[in-house]
Amino acid sequence: DIQMTQSPSTLSASVGDRVTITCRASQNINIWLAWYQHKPGKAPNLLIYKASTLESGVPSRFSGSGSGTEHTLTISNLQPEDFATYYCQQYNNYPWTFGQGTKVEI
Amino acid sequence: EVQLLESGGGLVQPGGSLRLSCAASGFTFNNFAMNWVRQAPGKGLEWVSGISGSGANTYYADSVKGRFTISRDKSKTTLYLQMSGLRVDDTAVYYCAKDRFSGSFSPFDQWGQGTLVTVSS
């Protein structure tokens, strides 16, 4: 199985900050990586797919990059509604696997 | 508007069984693979199982293989997860999730609100 390792596990930031989350895969997943935002009590929300494609309706302050085993999610100009937990997910090989999550907090 | 509505969660004893349902609407159900993803209390997201649009192909996480069975009913546009041999560590909120694209290599673009399964004696 492909292991997905996110860093950091927790990130303290302020409104207006630029933050970066890293996701490393244990093997090559090409560009088959997605990023989700998850808030307590709500359904996860797809932000980015195919490593860098912004999902429709997602603000442009979210961006993704990477290929192979190294991927990043960047949030520019952090907004109050962005405080949440973020997960990467590979869909290159079954079983699909998620990173352990990165909690972005104030 | 796409809607995914899970049901069937509840309290079950270790070793017991439960069947989850996910009623889907607002899209052509047969065209998209569907998935179950869970989140244990205080933990992250874990993909559990997936099924192709036709239902011909099914996939499972190692942690549930041999105990859980995914299926879908075209006429009822409903996804199922039959869970047996339940263990305490199966306790989680279970979400159904729709593939973004038809075919392979797709993330999940629509999720239900989740149903809680608690395995406890």
Mean pLDDT in order along chain A per 10 residues (106 residues): 96 96 97 97 96 97 97 96 97 96 94
Alpha-carbon distance A34 to nearest alpha carbon in chain B (angstroms): 6
Give residue B103's pLDDT: 80
- What's the pLDDT score for residue B105? 85
CB contact under 8 A, A89 and B45: yes
pLDDT value at B84 more than 90 = yes
Q: What is the DSSP letter of B105?
A: S
In the predicted model, what is the mean pLDDT of residues B43-72? 97
Residues of A in contact with B63 (CB under 8 A): none
For A36-63, give one letter per residue: b (16+ CB within 10 A) or e: bbbeeeebbbbbbbbbbebbeebeeebb
Q: Is A68 on the interface with B (CB under 8 A)?
A: no
How long a stretch of residues is chain A? 106
B106 touches chain A (CB under 8 A): yes
**B104: phi then psi, degrees, rounded to nearest 5:** -95, 175
Which residue of B lies nearest to A86 if distances are taken between CA atoms? B44
The predicted model gives B20-43 an average pLDDT of 97
Burial level of B55, CB count in 10 A (0-12/13-18/19+)?
Answer: middle
pLDDT band at B8 (very low <50, low <70, confident <90, very high): very high
